[in-house]
Amino acid sequence: MTRFPNVALLFGLAALGLAACGEAPPPAAAPERFTIAEPGPIPVTEQQPGDPVAGYRTVVNRGYVTCGIPYDAFRSSGLLEAGEPRLSGREGRNAELPYMFNSTVSGEGVELVVSNCLTCHASEFEGELVVGLGNPLLDFTNDPSVNAELLGAFVEDGAPAAAWAKWADRIAAIAPYMVTDTVGVNPAPNLTLALIAHRDPATLAWSAEPRLEPPPREPLPTKVPPWWRMQHKAAMFYNGSGRGDHVRYMMMKSLVCTDDIGEAAEIAEWFRDVRAYIASLEPPAYPFPVDEELAAQGEKVFAGTCAGCHGSYGADRAYPNLLIDLEVVGTDPAYARQAVESERFVRWFNRSFYGQGAEAMPALGYVAPPLDAVWATAPYLHNGSIPSIAALLDSTQRPTYWQMDTEPRQYDPDTLGWRFEALEFGKEAVEDLQRAKRIYDTTRHGYGNQGHQFGDALGEQERSALVEYLKTL
Amino acid sequence: MRILTALGFIVTALLLTVLYYWSADPGEPASVPEPSLVFPVDAAETFADPPTEWEYRFPADHGSHPGQFGEYWWLAGQLHDDAGRARAFQLAIYRLALSQDRPDTESRWGTRDLFRGQLLLDPGSYDGFHADERFGRDALGLSGSDATGAWIEDWSIVHDPDCGCFRLRASSADVRLDLTLHPSSPLPVTIRGMPGLDTPEPGSHGYWWPGLRVAGEVEYQGLSTSVAGDALLEHVWGRRLPVAQGQLTTNRLWLSLDDGSAVRCLQLRRRGNGGVPLGDCLLLVPDAHPVRIASRAWAPADPLDGDYPLRWRLESPAHGIALEIEAPRERAAPGFSLPLWSGLMQSAGTVDGQAVQGWGWLELSGY
């Protein structure tokens, strides 16, 4: 028996300050400007060059989050035993840590265990840990400040205590803005806005009291998108607001602890390579049999129904980077609208170090994403409201209330999603709080599963062929 | 809340280390293993967490729960003697198991449970107070626990089913307590795990029973007087019992107010200033269910400076509560083997807009 056996908790601690190694908050516009982008093609910006190999080394070894848990406390609490270090390329102390943690040393010489990007951006598929695949099982339904504070029981006096207190204080500051009511959805945008609220845009200095009005307490749900899309995307984030230099968005996880421009600049240098690594990632191949004949029929359906927005694949690959108007796509508008209404955060971003070279533009729309290995990325839509592609393509099959089967989690090759149970009732009908947290309720604000009903016009055979084709991407 | 498992192990390891070093005296048979810092953790790990929900059965649950790793019976009260002199007392008995089963030996030295007791008598004056601490083990019949309660030599807290009351007996150098405690409510308030953490697996169960009517005798410095008063009992069992560790202090408060309401707070809080206090307070008003008050409502009245904070506030506008809580006079920590401050408090303020006052007990550790 381990002394600290809970992997879910491990993820929870690692995720503290997960703000954006990929999909983060809707950021801002050009300096001193607040521009709402119009629907249409998003212009491609040339990205900084970098070394993908060095980038991976940074992702899994370096302390780009610069505050965390003193190593001795991490070990004493039993956290070391709670996750397997299953990644290649882990160096030194990193090799013994669970994969969602990296090792670093604070300026005061305290060895720290800090969270890394893979808390959210790695997930298992058929027993394999897939780096870049968003984790659809993370549980943000508990107040993270509780565990951060409890870890103090294992921290020694002196410099380790000060290091732990800094980290725990940051977690306490953002905790009220990152507790979701549903397991599996991700609060990264909201917690990033909460971090921004505490920082001076010019110096990045942390203020114990918010300098800006904080975001709403209830985070909107988002799904963690796959990293391998980034080699095709002109702008980051579901609403395409992350325009310009992607490095500055990808490094925003450092907002948790980085309190000065010098440190931020060093991390930005590292993240030139990280961006190159993320852009180099290739999607995994579908691991189950594919009916090639049916898939070929599906390719034609795709070309006629989907390719206009999502692009074409194969030898004639083309991706249009289209921002689709909310009125057209019809999916839940809350995320896009909140970004547009977050002007103070947009302006902060543009004035800050993070906005240098980056031009963020929220928009009343969503980007039609590249669909490489889309079969691996359930649940679907930006809020993860639809459990399978089959349901995405036939809106009559979308459950209003549903719960993913998690013991064990099982992939359904027929529907391209994780097996789930459709329910006749929402959270309110369930007394057991733990069970209620696992129910996805699409009637809640931001959780809607409407829109993107383009598959409804297809016949059953066409949809079946289309599903088969999507397995080949 | 698995981190509490880890915390609980550390906590129990500390307690057991103290107890075990004590138990391994040179006169014992060689069959007793050598003291080991690892040993207590191993002992704790042989016990499962208690069930998520406990089916309370009284009076059985007043007695010992040998299937649980740790347990304590904790009594404190305020008394007045015939001459109107105030007295306050506390007797707590802690039990921790070394193994699931009794040792496979016929030796009378065979030990399964270790015990620690603490006795305090506050004579209600500036002349000081009486504090004593004892360790025991369930060998040779010197200490033990059974279906009625627990004892360490002549210190005991037991339930008497004939009267439905509890009996406390304890003698020390110049103190003797012989008290009978009658509940004024039919059932105690059940408590589950570390409050406020919403853990699916609570780690402990137990109950808090305020409003016990006390009668009996107290002898102090050779003067024996009849006393009467008010007391509270807390009895908890499980694998995870709250004790301070690392940067976290443990703060516990019980209040008994003159409008019939009572408060119980349990809080983990940083030893320094700042941080998020964990735990909660329960407010019990007559003829109503207990109400939970978030832990942030209970805080030291002054910035922490390394000493035990003896002035506190409990403020919850949502519940109409504003109480000042302070020790009636300066008093040093009792000097137990586990550093802690434990003693009588007085409280005044408002509950639900009505002026109240009362007595309480504060226990602080980890400072």
Domain edges within chain B = 1-243, 244-367
Asked whether residue A411 is domain-assigned, the answer is yes
Please state which of the ranges A258-262, B4-8, B58-62 shows the lowest mean pLDDT: B4-8
Residue B221: predicted pLDDT = 87
Would you state the pLDDT for residue A443? Answer: 96
**Average pLDDT, integer, range B3-19:** 39
Asked if A434 lies within 8 A of B200 by C-beta distance, the reply is yes
Q: Is residue A427 part of a domain?
A: yes
Is the pLDDT confidence value at B14 over 50? no
Q: Is the pLDDT of residue B337 over 90?
A: no
Render B124-169 in DSSP notation, one character per residue.
SSTT--EEEEEEEESSTTSEEE-SSEEEETTEEEEEETTTTEEEEE
Nearest-10 Cα torsion for A261, A263, A269, A275: -90
Which of A1, A2, A3 should one mutate to test binding to chain B, selecting the residue with the greatest count of B CBs within 10 A?
A3
Which one of A273-287, B41-55, B261-275 scores highest in mean pLDDT? Answer: A273-287
* Whether the predicted pLDDT of A26 surpasses 80: no
Query: Looking at the complex, does the CB of residue A165 fall below 8 Å from at least one CB of chain B?
Result: yes
CA of B273: which chain A residue's CA is closest? A165
Q: Which amino acid is at B263?
A: V
Record: contact B245-A154, CB cut-off 8 A = yes
Q: Structural domain of residue A309, as residue ranges?
A: 292-324+372-470
- What is the predicted pLDDT for the residue at B126? 63
Asked if pLDDT for residue B156 goes beyond 70, the answer is yes
Let me know: does B265 contact B298? Beta carbons within 8 Å.
Answer: yes
Q: Which residues of chain B lie closer than 8 angstroms to A77, CB-CB? A: 3, 6-7
pLDDT in tens, B283-331: 999 888 899 998 889 999 999 888 999 999 999 999 899 999 999 988 8
- Work out the pLDDT band at A406, boundaries 50, 70, 90: confident
Q: How confident is the model at residue B6 (pLDDT cuts 50, 70, 90)?
A: very low
The pLDDT value recorded for residue B199 is: 62
Confidence (pLDDT) at B198: 55
The DSSP H or E segment spanning A284 is: none
Residue A123's DSSP bridge partners are A130
How many residues does the structure list for chain A?
473
Contacts of A151 in chain B (CB under 8 A): 3
Cβ-Cβ contacts under 8 Å, B198 against chain A: 142, 433
Pairing state of beta strands B165-172 and B175-182? antiparallel
CB distance from A287 to chain B under 8 Å? no
Question: Are the C-beta atoms of B250 and B244 separated by less than 8 Å?
Answer: yes
Closest CA to B124 of B47, B227, B202: B227
Q: Quick check: is A229 in a domain?
A: no
Cross-chain residue pair B45–A151, CB shorter than 8 Å? no
pLDDT over 50 at A310, yes or no: yes
Task: Work out the average pLDDT over A419-434.
Answer: 92
**Which pair of structure tokens corresponds to residue A264?**
């931020």
Residue written as token pair 């013991």: A407
Q: Is the pLDDT of residue A332 over 90?
A: yes
Provide the pLDDT confidence category of residue B352 given band limits of 50, 70 and 90. confident
**Rounded to whole angstroms, how far apart are CA atoms B232 and B262?**
10
Tell me which residue has tokens 């030990």.
Answer: B111
Size of interface A-B (CB pairs under 8 A): 85
Record: fold of B244-367: AttH-like fold (2.40.370)
> What's the rounded mean pLDDT across residues A414-439?
93
3-state secondary structure A299-368: HHHHHHHCHHHHCECHHHCECCCEEEEHHHHCCCCHHHHHHHHCHHHHHHHHHCHHHCCEEECCECEEEC
Answer left, alpha or beta for residue B353, where phi above 0 means left and psi between -120 and 50 means alpha: left
Does the pLDDT of residue B338 top 70, yes or no? yes
The residues, ordered by sequence, that sit 6+ positions from B10 with a Cβ below 8 Å of its Cβ are A76, A153, A154, B245
Closest by Cα among A450, A473, A387 to A422: A387
On whether residue A257 sits in a domain, the answer given is: no
Q: What local confidence, expressed as pLDDT, does residue B272 receive?
A: 86
Q: What angle do CA A276, A282, A283 make, to 5 degrees?
A: 135
- Domain total of chain A: 1
Reduced DSSP (H G I as helix, E B as strand, rest coil) percent helix, strand, coil of chain B, to 5: 10, 50, 40
Q: What is the pLDDT of residue A198?
A: 97
CB A266 within 8 A of CB A58: no
- Res B105: pLDDT: 65
- Whether residue A350 is contained in a domain is answered as no
Q: Angle at CA B120, nearest 5°, toward B116 and B122?
A: 175
Q: Is residue A299 part of a domain?
A: yes
Q: What is the pLDDT of residue A86?
A: 76
ipTM of model = 0.81
Whether A466 maps to a domain, the answer reads yes
**Residue B76 reports pLDDT greater than 90:** yes
Contacts of A162 in chain B (CB under 8 A): none
Mean pLDDT of B161-181: 96
The pLDDT tens digits of the residues spanning A171-225 come to: 999 999 999 999 999 999 999 999 999 999 999 999 999 999 999 999 999 999 9
**pLDDT value, residue B244:** 80
* Residue A26 is assigned to a structural domain of this protein: no
Residues of chain A in contact with residue B272, where contact means CB-CB under 8 angstroms, are 161, 165
pLDDT band at B273 (very low <50, low <70, confident <90, very high): confident
Nearest-angstrom CA–CA distance, B9 and A99: 25
Segment A107-117 shows an average pLDDT of 96
A282's enclosing H/E stretch is none
Q: Same topology for domains B1-243 and B244-367, yes or no?
A: yes
Distance, in Å, from the CA atom of A24 to the CA atom of A133, rounded to the nearest integer, reads: 15
User: Which of chain A's residues have a Cβ under 8 Å away from the Cβ of B197?
Assistant: 146
Residue type at B193 in one-letter notation: G
Going by the DSSP 8-state scheme, the letter that residue B211 receives in this structure is: E
Range scoring the smallest mean pLDDT among A136-145, A371-380, B10-19, B345-354: B10-19
With beta carbons less than 8 A apart as the criterion, state whether B122 and B138 touch: no
Task: Evaluate if residue B109 carries a pLDDT over 50.
Answer: yes
Mutate to test the interface with A, among B1, B2, B10, B278 (most CBs of A within 10 A): B2
Q: What is the mean pLDDT of residues A159-170?
A: 96
Residue count of chain B = 367
SS3 content of chain A, % helix, strand, coil (to 5): 40, 15, 45
CATH architecture assignment, domain B1-243: Beta Barrel (2.40)
Yes or no: say if A287 and A411 are a contact pair by the CB < 8 Å rule: no
- Report the residue of chain A nearest B42, measured CA to CA: A1
A88 or B5: whose pLDDT is higher?
A88
pLDDT over 80 at A30, yes or no: no
Interface contact flag, A6 B2, Cβ < 8 Å: yes
